[in-house]
Amino acid sequence: MSATLQALGILKAYIGNRAEIVVDAGNTVRETLHALNIPSDVVALVVVNDVPQSKEYRVQEGDAIKLLAVVGGGNEWGTNKRINE
């Protein structure tokens, strides 16, 4: 039993920069992240078959999973310039 997983943005590096990989069905998303050495706290959103799910969702045969990363940086002015320059 298997499903496909796409890790988008910076998360793609955790799956060898591949477009998608095959993962086992039957585990939770959190267990799958752990098996792939993806820190769960950097995953902001899990989408399964185009529906947002929690990391406790149990992966089913044929699921298409997408992972989106937490994004941060910049400042309130939208630039990377230091404030008191």
70 Cβ contact partners less than 8 Å away, ≥ 6 residues apart: 41, 42, 43, 44
Number of domains in the chain: 1
Q: Rounded CA gap, 35 and 49, in Å?
A: 21
Looking up residue 38, the CATH number of its domain turns out to be 3.10.20.30
Tell me the whole-structure pTM to 2 decimals. Answer: 0.82
Structural domain includes residue 43: yes
Instruction: Give the pLDDT band of residue 72 (cuts 50, 70, 90).
Output: low
With respect to residue 32, please indicate whether it lies within any of the assigned structural domains. yes
Whether the pLDDT of residue 48 is over 80: the answer is yes
pLDDT bracket for residue 70 (50, 70, 90)? confident
Task: Compute the CA torsion angle 28, 64, 53, 70 (nearest 10 deg).
Answer: 90
- Is the pLDDT confidence value at 85 over 90? no
Q: Does any domain span residue 82?
A: no
Domain with 24 in it: 2-69
Phi, psi at residue 13, to the nearest 5°?
A: -60, -30
